[in-house]
Amino acid sequence: MTVAAAMDTPIAALPSAHRIARVDIIQDVAAAEPVWRQFETSAHLATPYQRFDFQAAWLKHVATAEGVQPTIVIAYDPDQQPLLLLPLVVGRENGMRVASFPGGKHVTFNMPLWRRDFADSATRSEMETLLKGIHARAGNIDVLALLRQPQTWRGIANPMALLAHQPSTNDCPVLIITPDTGPNDRVSSSMRKRLKTKEAKYKGLPGYGYMHATTPADVTRVLDMFFAVKPLRMAEQGLPDVFAEPGVEAFLRDACAAPRSGGYAIDIHALVCDEEVIAMFAGVADEDRFSMMFNTYTMSANAKYSPGLILMRTIVDYYAERGIRSLDLGIGEGDYKRMFCKDDEVIFDSYIPLTTRGRLGALGLSSVAHAKRMVKQSPALLQMAQKLRGAFQRS
């Protein structure tokens, strides 16, 4: 992989109000690292999914296995200071070159990393200038397929929403945590009482307790359990095991071991006893949000008393006590999610053509996504789709 040469001249003769003076494309992840890490400060705006260590692990293991090309877009102001970094991967789909966010199914929220002051005041014209710069520097991209973007992040509107977009296929349930409120405002007293009764069944287990995995040995112990048990749980539900896809286990093990201030690129929480890991949740966190990525629970008799719900209640309290303002359990519906998450994060997709050939492709991708959302929003259509999926799996 090579680094694209820096642009020697501006994108175009732009009005002085435009702050994007130059757009570079870098295909060497290591070469992008110094600028990328500049965006991991309080002066910038990004979700924890776009941290360098998280993305670099996915690009190293999964992107290589999938045969997609890292394409990191960096926009600079006239003083040559970076305004945003947009991580992408480019692959071939239906005869087109499609650029998308790295991370695939394992990322709940996708967004560029922004200089906060720029994100707070970016204009549609500036976002269109970004698109022109991407096309000028990476002319082989036909379509930008930018999925699962949050409408806002930490109270700032996502500038990507200034471009054409549509609602994502699924919503994301979220728990909003109001500062200085008591535990019963986060999880109801009735649920706490029920879970306390259930947890009493575990109190007699030698070594029982909650664990935030903060050592390599703890991380390895929990992940070993996860990769042994999760395939069995997925098979129970008749679902494909996305964690068995090439490179995924290596990606997760690397990211769960990549240190950051206060934790890892992916943090692991678990209920354990001397005999086994009873339940686990893993997700990404920053000073404002915890976002769950994957979870499972034991196949033993210790699964009887809702260990996943007990652990989730504990995680809510753990982060609330540390100032976290919101918590989500990932994209899609689930009864257990609605026990904790009463609101929804507004997320959107963008299918943006950059070439003439890409226009038809963007329309096709957009239409398919729209149809999927219609199915998900209609109980009757969803039931029909589930029956058809079951029939194909049995055939």
Q: How confident is the model at residue 138 (pLDDT cuts 50, 70, 90)?
A: confident
- How open is the CA angle 32-38-42, to the nearest 5 degrees? 150
- Tell me which residue has tokens 């990404």: 284
Q: Is the dihedral of CA 261, 51, 312, 238 positive or negative?
A: negative
pLDDT, residue 18, reads 78
Residue range 129-154: average pLDDT? 94
CA distance 157 to 151: 6
Residue range 328-332: average pLDDT? 88
- Tell me which residue has tokens 């005999």: 275
Each residue's pLDDT tens digit, 97-128: 999 999 999 999 999 999 999 999 999 999 99
Please say if the pLDDT value at position 375 is more than 80. Answer: no
Q: 20 vs 13, 23, 65, 137, 235, CA distance in Å?
A: 11, 7, 34, 14, 49
Closest C-alpha among 302, 242, 301, 307 to residue 279: 307
Closest C-alpha among 269, 288, 295, 279 to residue 327: 288
Please say if the pLDDT value at position 8 is more than 80. Answer: no
Predicted TM-score of the model (pTM): 0.89
Contact 227, 256 (CB under 8 A): no
Q: Which has the higher per-residue pLDDT, 283 or 377?
A: 283
pLDDT > 90 in the chain, percent: 76
Give domain 178-324's CATH superfamily.
Answer: Gcn5-related N-acetyltransferase (GNAT) (3.40.630.30)
Closest C-alpha among 51, 41, 45 to residue 120: 45
Each residue's pLDDT tens digit, 34-55: 999 999 998 999 999 999 999 9
Please say if the pLDDT value at position 392 is more than 50. Answer: no
Mapped onto helix, strand or coil, the DSSP state of residue 261 is coil
Q: How confident is the model at residue 377 (pLDDT cuts 50, 70, 90)?
A: low
Q: Is the dihedral of CA 179, 185, 191, 196 positive or negative?
A: positive
Residue range 293-316: average pLDDT? 97
Quote the mean pLDDT of the chain: 90
Topology at the third CATH level for domain 22-169+346-394? Aminopeptidase (3.40.630)
Residues 6+ apart with CB under 8 A from 82: 35, 38, 39, 74, 75, 76, 115
Each residue's pLDDT tens digit, 185-234: 899 999 999 999 999 999 999 999 999 999 999 999 999 999 999 999 99
- CATH 3.40.630.30 domain span(s) along the chain: 178-324
